[in-house]
Amino acid sequence: MSDLAFVLLTVAVFAALGLLVKGVERL
């Protein structure tokens, strides 16, 4: 896996976690 792909995957994971946290805070 290239470094660029790894960085994009990491960013996607953090973005998903951020959305999950926002969703939990709304409850």
Question: Number of folded domains in the chain?
Answer: 1
C-alpha closest to that of 10 among 1, 21, 23: 1
> How would residue 27 be classed by pLDDT, with cut points 50, 70 and 90?
confident
Contacts 24+ apart (CB under 8 A), 17-20: none
Query: Token pair for residue 4?
Result: 């660029």
| pLDDT tens readout for residues 7-25 | 999 999 999 999 999 999 9
Q: What is the mean pLDDT of residues 4-8?
A: 97
Which range marks the domain in which residue 3 is found?
1-27
Phi, psi at residue 2, to the nearest 5°? Answer: -75, 160
